[in-house]
Every structure is written in structure tokens, then in C-alpha cells.
Structure 1
């Protein structure tokens, strides 16, 4: 996912638009590479199934099925809860504290069972290559990082709005990063960690 962080101090003016877009992007990220490519080529660029087949190495019939499955999954994308400082700030703070303390039980209580963790280092700084799925895997990740002392201690940074989602701006191991949380029904269902310095240039100018 390509994030372009902002430092908005208030929730976005049109939270529903942001949340639907984030849900669709998250679902698009969850598609297989072949399914995602076939869907984009068909619905965004109006390629024929024979053309798509040549590009992805599949038969036209297989490409039609890939596009159909992608559309079905995207149609079921569920938007996150509308951003709210009053409800989101306690969850963001709780996540910060639990991740710094490596508290597995508390992290599991905060995470949705099917949570996804996305990271982007742009090949410039250390970051996970693949999307991490599942609450237990996500909790293990942050608990492990806490044990390695990669996280700074101290109070939770101020709440920021990043692409319409509540989150934080911090420096981890000397690297500037943003952490955006998608919250639904009081649980964190997705985390996007942006560490790619090329995508944070404008953010550095405001710090």
C-alpha cells in the first residue's frame, strides 16, 4: 500500500470517503498478484481477457475467473469505523503502550482476529516484505520487537490523522515512520507502517 502521510490534527472532513477507500485498498492488497493484475487490467484499463492472459500467463477463461473472484472480494470490503478523536485516541494509546511493553495478552485484546500488518521500507530501510496476517502473528511481531528494544520508551506521541486513519508519527531505531491504524468495532483490523524515506520527505519538512 502506498501511503502519503499527513499531520492533520483533526479527523478528516469526509470520513466515510476515506474509510471506504481504505477498505478497498486493504482488500486489493489481499488479492493474489495474478488476481490483482487481472482485475486492474480489466476494470481499470479495459483490457480483453485474451490480452490479460498473454500478460499474466493464463488462459482467457482463467483470467475471467480471476477477475470475477477479485470483484466478489472487493464488493465485500467493509469500511472502518468513522474516525473520532474521542474513541480512537484511547485505542492508539493502548496500542502504543502494549507494543512497547511487548504485552501479548493486551495486544491480542486490541487486535481483530484477521488483522493485517503492512510495512513499507522502500528497500531503503528495514521493513517486513510480506503482509502479516492474524492477531497472534501480529502480536508476536510487536512483542518480539519490544524484546529487541527497537521501540523507544516514553509517553505516546500525539494522535495524528494519516490518510484519514488515526495513527502516530515516531522515530524507530533512528528511522522516521508513520503508523496508521484501521479500527472497526473497537478493534484494530489493520496497521500500516510507513518507513520509506522517499514517501516521508514532505513530513520531514514539517518536523
Structure 2
């Protein structure tokens, strides 16, 4: 955040980073867009001649707005029906494998779901330091804490995230091959084929938001998951189709029902079996 000469309009070049911060903070595309729009309005109303760094000013405003919004959101999510999952971002075309793996490290649904366990300021400090690579002195300025306090927050957050974050280094090609096997098994509903795909302690989190039929509690275990997808295959039959798409930087699955998007599934794998599925079914999160 070094002092810089302000361009005539610096906002367009910074918009992507601002959205990236807000989305990772909130797990909602709509909320992130609102935050970025509010930051733009405040920038237009500010005395820009007195601002030494547009980058520093806009990142600070965006982060603090996100912290405030996340505090309200966390209170609202306490009354959410079933598990709450982030709103997925889908890429229509499959990018090169190295691109997918690069993005997957800090924007996957699994990672964003882990971040939900952090307090708002802790989450902001962790993201700015670990994902966006800001110095601790800069993080302290943004969140309004001392540098020592930020170091403690980031250290505590890093420990919590690393303790539960998957440690598998899986290529995009291997990931896609496993998804293709899963789609074949899910269409057939064959119990043995499904069971063979899941790790023994595989986990499913499904977000229907109380708007559509969905499991309301986490489901764990290969047998239980195989039986669930067996039943789903029998219920949906030929009405359902599955396609591979890039879900938050990783290969995932889009399921359509009667031609309309019904579910988006992010899949975590160790390269051989599925270890976790994050199934977003809430129609409000599938509109985009």
C-alpha cells in the first residue's frame, strides 16, 4: 500500500481485488457486489486529493464494510434452516488445469466454509495476510488493530484452518476423472459403485435454505452417502442430468432437473476417493 499517484479513475483496476476480498469475507456474490458498490460511492464522495493511496483507502473501506456485514450475517445464519454454505461461482468453460489449481487454494467452497468459523476481524486479518499477502503493518491499518494483535489473530486463524483443511495435492485431471466416475454411479444408483467412490469418513453438507427438499444435518460415512445417492437416482431418474463445471476454482458438478439448474456440488477428493461434498440447492444461491 505504498504512496502512489492517483489515476483519473483507479477504481476499475482495483475492482477485481475488492470483490475478491468481499466475496471471501462474506461467501455471497450479491453481498460482495453490494460492498464494492458502496465502496465506489464512498470513493466518489471522498476528498480524493487528500488520499495518498487509492489502493489502501479502497481496500480498507471494503474490508471494514465486509466486517460489519459479516457480523450481521453471522447472527442471521444462526437461524438458517440446515447447513449454510457459500454461494458458488461457476465458470462456464474449463480453464487450464494450472489456473484451476491456483484459484482453488483460496476460494474453494470447502475453504470458505472453514472460514465461517472465524470471527469477522479474525477472518479479515487472515485473508489479507495469507491470501492477499499484505504486510502485518498494512493489515493492522485496515482492521484498526495493533500489529501485535493482528499477528495473534492470524496465527490463531492459521492454526484453526490448517488443522481442518484438506492436505491433498490433486491434479485437476485426476479430480475430473473421479467426478466422471461419480456422475456415472450417481445416474445408475448402483450401491456398490457409489460406495467404492467414497472415503469411509466422507462428509456431505447440503444447503437447501429451507426452500427445497434437502438433508438438514451433515451426513458422514460411505454407506450412508451411497444409500442417499441410490435413493436420489431412483427418484429423479431420467429427469436429472449432470455436467462438470469449474466451481469456485475447482472441478465440480452442476445438476439440472428438467433442464433447470437444481444443485451445484463442490467435491473434495484425495485423488482416489471423495472425502467431502458441498451441495448447494438453495435457489437463491443458484440464480447467478
Both structures adopt the same fold (TM-score exceeding 0.5): yes
Q: Which structure has the larger Rg?
A: 2
- The total of aligned residue pairs comes to 170
TM-score normalised according to structure 1 size: 0.66
**Which structure 1 segments of 5+ residues have no match?**
30-35, 47-68, 203-207
CA deviations over 1:152-194 (Å, ceiling 9, x no partner): 368x644211012212222237662212211213211111211
Q: Is the 8 A contact 1:83 1:165 kept in 2?
A: no
Pairs within 5 Å for 1:10-49: 10=95, 11=97, 13=99, 15-19=101-105, 22=108, 23-25=110-112, 27=114, 36=117, 39-40=118-119, 43-44=122-123
Q: Secondary structure at the match of 2:99?
A: coil
8 Å contact 1:102–1:142 — kept in the other structure? yes
> How large is the RMSD of aligned CA atoms in angstroms?
3.1
Aligned twin of 1:188: 274
Q: Which has the higher helix share?
A: 2
User: Is the aligned partner of 1:169 residue 2:254?
Assistant: yes
Distance 1:136 1:201, change over 3 A: same
Q: 1:2 aligns with which of 79, 86, 95?
A: 86
Query: Contact 2:245 / 2:251 at 8 angstroms: preserved in 1?
Result: yes
- Report the Cα distance in structure 2 between the residues aligned to 1:113 and 1:152, rounded to whole angstroms: 29
Give ranges in structure 2 of 5+ residues lacking alignment.
1-84, 126-155
- Residues 1:26 and 1:111: Cα distance change in structure 2 (over 3 Å): farther
CA distance in 1, matches of 2:245, 2:94: 6
8 A Cα contact 1:5 1:178, kept in partner: no
Report 1 or 2 for greater relative contact order, CA contacts < 8 Å, sequence distance ≥ 6: 1
